[in-house]
Structure 1
Amino acid sequence: MGNQSQMAERLSGYDVRRGESSISGLSSGAFMTVQMHLAHSRKFKGAGIIAGGPFRCAESFRGAAVLAADAFELGALAIGMNPLIPQMAPDAGDLAALARDAAGNGLIDPLDTLPDHRLYIFTGRSDCVVYPDVVNRTREFYLRLNVNPANILYNDTVNAGHSIITDNLEDSPLAENRPPYINNGNFMQSHAILRHIYGELNAPLEHLTGRLIRFDQREFFDGNTRASMSDFGYAYVPSAVLAGRAQARVHIALHGCKQGYNYVNYVRGLPDTANQPPYGNRYITTTGYNHIAESNDIIVLYPQVEGSDGGDLQNPDGCWDWWGYSSPTPRNPDYYSKNAVQIKAINAMLERLGG
Structure 2
Amino acid sequence: MQSHRFFVPALLLAAALSGTTARASGTAPQPLPRFQIDRTELSVSGLSSGAFMAAQLQVAYSATFKGAGIIAGGPYYCAAGNMAYTGICMGQMMLVYPNATLMANAARQFEATGQIDKLGNLKKRRVYVFSGTRDTVVKQPAVNATVSFFQQVGVPASQLVYVNKVPAGHAVITPTFGNACDANATPYISHCEINGQGYDQSGALLAHIHGKLEPKASSLAGRMVTFNQRAYAPAGTGMAEEAFLYVPPSCDAGQTCKVHVAIHGCAQSAEKVGKNFIADTGYNEWAENNRMLVLYPQVNASTVPFNPQGCWDWFGYTGPTYAWKAGPQMSAIKAMVDALGKAR
Q: Given the two structures, how large is their TM-score scaled by the length of structure 1? A: 0.85
User: Structure 1: which 4+ aligned runs deviate by more than 4 Å?
Assistant: none
2:274 pairs with one of 274, 277, 280: 280
Letter in 1 for 2:312: W
Corresponding residue number in structure 2 for 1:317: 309
Q: Equivalents in 2 of 1:57, 1:241: separation in Å?
A: 37
1:303 pairs with one of 291, 297, 301: 297
Q: Is the 8 A contact 1:19 1:42 kept in 2?
A: no
Corresponding residue number in structure 2 for 1:58: 79
Corresponding residue number in structure 2 for 1:227: 237
What per-residue deviation string (whole Å, max 9, x for no partner) do you get for residues 104-162 of structure 1?
11111111110121111000000010010000000000000111011111011000000
- DSSP-derived class of the 2:232 partner: helix
Q: Equivalents in 1 of 2:104, 2:223: separation in Å?
A: 40
What per-residue deviation string (whole Å, max 9, x for no partner) do you get for residues 248-288 of structure 1?
0100000000011113xxxxxxxxxxxxxxx2221000100
Corresponding residue number in structure 1 for 2:211: 199
2:144 pairs with one of 136, 142, 146: 136
Corresponding residue number in structure 2 for 1:41: 62
Q: Is the 8 A contact 2:91 2:98 kept in 1?
A: no
Tell me how far 1:240 sits from its aligned partner.
0.9
Q: Equivalents in 2 of 1:202, 1:53: separation in Å?
A: 31
2:114 pairs with one of 73, 96, 106: 106
Q: Equivalents in 2 of 1:32, 1:123: separation in Å?
A: 16
Q: Equivalents in 2 of 1:94, 1:226: separation in Å?
A: 30
Letter in 2 for 1:126: R
Identity %: 40
Q: Equivalents in 1 of 2:47, 2:54: separation in Å?
A: 9
Tell me how far 1:45 sits from its aligned partner.
1.0
Corresponding residue number in structure 2 for 1:10: 31
2:102 pairs with one of 82, 94, 104: 94
Tell me how far 1:20 sits from its aligned partner.
1.8
Letter in 2 for 1:13: R
Q: Given the two structures, how large is their TM-score scaled by the length of structure 2? A: 0.88
Q: Equivalents in 2 of 1:17, 1:82: separation in Å?
A: 37
Corresponding residue number in structure 1 for 2:341: 354
2:179 pairs with one of 146, 159, 172: 172
Q: What RMSD in Å do the two structures reach over aligned CA positions?
A: 1.6
Corresponding residue number in structure 2 for 1:209: 221
Tell me how far 1:89 sits from its aligned partner.
1.1
Q: Is the 8 A contact 1:24 1:253 kept in 2?
A: yes
What per-residue deviation string (whole Å, max 9, x for no partner) do you get for residues 48-72 of structure 1?
000000011012xxxxxxxxx7xx1
Q: Equivalents in 2 of 1:103, 1:211: separation in Å?
A: 39
Q: Is the 8 A contact 2:91 2:140 kept in 1?
A: no
Corresponding residue number in structure 1 for 2:318: 326
- DSSP-derived class of the 1:57 partner: coil
Letter in 2 for 1:237: V
Q: Is the 8 A contact 2:119 2:154 kept in 1?
A: no
Tell me how far 1:215 sits from its aligned partner.
0.4
Tell me how far 1:179 sits from its aligned partner.
1.0
Tell me how far 1:339 sits from its aligned partner.
1.1
Corresponding pairs, count = 313
1:182 pairs with one of 173, 185, 189: 189
